[in-house]
Amino acid sequence: MSLKLFLTLFCGICWTITYVECIRIGFKYKIHTMPFLALVLNITWEAFNTYQGGLLAGWTHVSTVFDGAWLLLDCIILYIYLVYTKSESTSSFVFYGKVISLLVLGSVFQYIFAQQLGLIPGAVYSSSVMGLIMSSLFIKMYYDRGGAYGQSLSIAINKCLGTAAASLLVGLVGVNSLGGAHPMVLYVGIFIFFIDLYYIFLLCKKSSTIT
């Protein structure tokens, strides 16, 4: 097995575990487990790139398969958010208006990156920006909730490792479709890695982390 394939599979497996854990904990404790803006960026990225990846690389390509699987899992996470968060809103119109508006904006975000940088580079660089936003939002969720409720070390560790593998693949090893390594992705990945380590540290401090 080549290093590129190993990193691709490792990233895919870690992120799949992350999503499955978000779903398991969400249903078990009736709480959303992923910050909503992070979920919006994820689900729009996966929808856009599953479709484009299927057209460009083929529907059975390993990256397309993972993107498609993540899209389905994120749809379940979105369902959990809609079911267990709607009761916190005083107005259904405001709640669903926010959800739809952010999904539209997330789609525009993905489209702009693809238009400005090209489909594959756009997907890579938008995911790097999303990684920074997502990791920061998980820490914000921790402080907003006053602890680790609705979160787990499994989610945090697998999210960290999956992103690190993707950063190494694109930023250091390089992939043919991008014409080699893109060091900027590696540099952003290093920032994300240390943010994720801090989040893991926060969860390790709290005995209330749920499983």
**Residue given tokens 């801090």 in the structure block:** 198
Q: Is 100 exposed, middle or buried (0-12, 13-18, 19+ CB in 10 A)?
A: exposed
Q: How far apart are CA 211 and CA 152, in angstroms?
A: 6
What is the DSSP code (8-state) at residue 171? I
Each residue's pLDDT tens digit in the chain (211 positions)?
789 889 989 999 999 999 999 999 999 999 999 999 999 999 999 999 898 877 777 788 888 888 899 999 999 999 999 998 876 666 888 889 999 999 999 999 999 999 999 988 999 999 999 999 999 999 999 999 988 888 999 999 999 999 999 999 999 998 887 788 899 999 999 999 999 999 999 999 865 445 5
